[in-house]
Amino acid sequence: MLKTITVLFVLLPYIIIAQNNKGGVLEIIQDERIGELVDKHIAINKIVKKNGYRIQIYFDSGNNSKSRAYEVKHSFTLNYPDVDVYILFEAPYYKVRVGNFRTRLDAYSFFRKISAKYPDAFIVKDFIDYP
């Protein structure tokens, strides 16, 4: 036991010095195919949409519903230029949805900001583009 402790105290300074190498260069050696797989993974994630939430600020059917949807989109874009706006047509309704929120809580916080201007707005579960 005494020999083990003595050897430990003799080698401990060398171990500490070896770990405090400053200014070293890290070289990663890997197969080229790993980089290709990572690139493919990134490309697929850009295409595949994920579950999330949006806020629906308008929906209507009938005469002039399409033009009214574009008017709502334009007015919303003027007030909130940094928020994405989407127009959907699901027969017979035109819908205007805004935002790409990962959680319902994120959607709700933005919903509270716009609820005075858009009193008929509500949160919907949708496929979103991750920001």
Provide mean pLDDT across the span 98-105: 94
Q: Taking 80 as the threshold, does the pLDDT of residue 131 lie above it?
A: no
Tens-digit pLDDT profile for residues 60-84 = 998 999 999 999 999 999 999 999 9
Tens-digit pLDDT profile for residues 49-60 = 788 999 999 999
User: pTM to 2 decimals?
Assistant: 0.64
* Four-way CATH pick for 49-128: 3.40.50.300, 3.50.50.60, 1.10.1050.10, 3.30.70.1070: 3.30.70.1070
Tens-digit pLDDT profile for residues 22-41 = 667 778 888 889 989 999 98
Can you give the chain as a three-state secondary structure string? CHHHHHHHHHHHHHHHHHHCCCCCCCCCCCCHHHHHHHHHHHHHHHHCCEEEEEEEEEEECCCCHHHHHHHHHHHHHHHCCCCCEEEEEECCEEEEEEEEECCHHHHHHHHHHHCCCCCCCEEEEEEECCC
The predicted pLDDT at position 4 comes to 74
Q: Taking 80 as the threshold, does the pLDDT of residue 126 lie above it?
A: yes
